[in-house]
Amino acid sequence: MTGITISREGQAARLSLSRGKALNAMTREMCEESLAALLAWRSDDSIAMVMIDHAGERGFCAGGDVAAVRRSVVEGDGIEGRAFFLAEYRLNHLLFAYPKPVVTFMDGVTMGGGVGISLPAKFRVATENTLFAMPEGAIGLFPDAGAGYTFARLPGRLGQFLALTGARLDGGECLWAGLATHYLESAVLEDAKARIAEQPEHAEAILDELSASPPPARLAGNAENIARHFASDRLEEILASLAADDGKWAGKELAAVSSKCPTTSKVALRLLAEGAQRDDFAEEMAREYAIVSRMITRPDFAEGVRAVLIDKDKAPRWNPARPEDVSDEMLDALFAPLPEDERWTPAVI
């Protein structure tokens, strides 16, 4: 069993993540099976829409199986780890370019790779259970799976804030930020899915009708602080801005940013700055793949996964440990294109 349940109801095809014990963390096999299904449905005239959700009661998708990626690098040559990201990014890109409407139900934990399969969808449904984040900085990686493109387009430097802090948003905050298109109570989700399957051409109207009023977005109250303190594309300047503010919120976010891998944070800021100018999502995925192929081989990645997921001591030892020691030359090497025969390419069309 790969962890994906593929089904069809009416004119809607359905991908349900079903690896509940692992909070539906995506594996290479799950990505590849999803890719194959989407490619088949794309040319099937009897399929009008695709729904992505999760089976069971646990979170939508906690991300990619980074522990397996770490084992690939620590115990081997990293080939399997790179193969995972190749498949994952192909899935992200196919969803972004998909010719039929896709609706994702972000009912529960939606992090990392879960964000990557949610944000490309035309309709993105948050609920009272949604817990949205890109926490890669805590494990020595960077917000990927297309975040260099999608986060770069969020207003008010919100993307930079999410990338550097790993902040967790609830469903109301996701709707306020434009990360979700609709907010529904989880109790009506099955009704929504059944009605969409029956009348996919009316999906938007169905979601509109079933929408509920979300709780106030707490994040909205700090929008001005976020825009001001995260205005720079230089990590040192963001840290200095937060440090100069003696308010409680600034102190909390200063601690959050300072705890993350400095190299990761600088990669994220540069990626979003470039992504804001990038029109081609495939080009974004190629750039992210080149970076992640190198980032997973750095000691920071193995150390971050150890500290968060294996030993769980939450005390990673980053190298370099200070932002000022992460040079532009180091970043240039991480961002350099891969050799032609190693580069990311889209799924076979």
Active site positions, annotated = 64, 113, 136, 144
Residues 6 or more apart whose Cβ sits within 8 Å of residue 119:
146, 147, 150, 179
Alpha helices for the chain (secondary structure H): 28-42, 66-74, 79-97, 113-116, 147-150, 158-165, 171-177, 189-198, 203-210, 223-229, 235-243, 248-259, 262-275, 281-295, 299-305, 328-335
Roughly how many angstroms between the first and final C-alpha of the chain, as a whole number?
26
Residue 70 pairs with which residues in a beta bridge?
none
List for the chain the helix, strand, coil content (%; round to 5). Answer: 55, 10, 35
> Do residues 129 and 186 touch, judged by C-beta distance below 8 A?
yes
3-class SS of residue 336: coil
- The whole-angstrom separation of Cα 18 and Cα 2 is 8
Give which of 108, 27, 76, 91 is closest to 285, Cα–Cα.
91
Length of the chain: 349
Strand partners, 7: 14
Tell me the CA distances in angstroms from 122 to 117, 131, 273, one per residue in order: 11, 20, 24
Pairing of strands 4-9, 12-17: antiparallel
- On whether the CB atoms of residues 287 and 304 are closer than 8 A, the answer is no
The pairing of strands 123-126 and 182-183 is: parallel
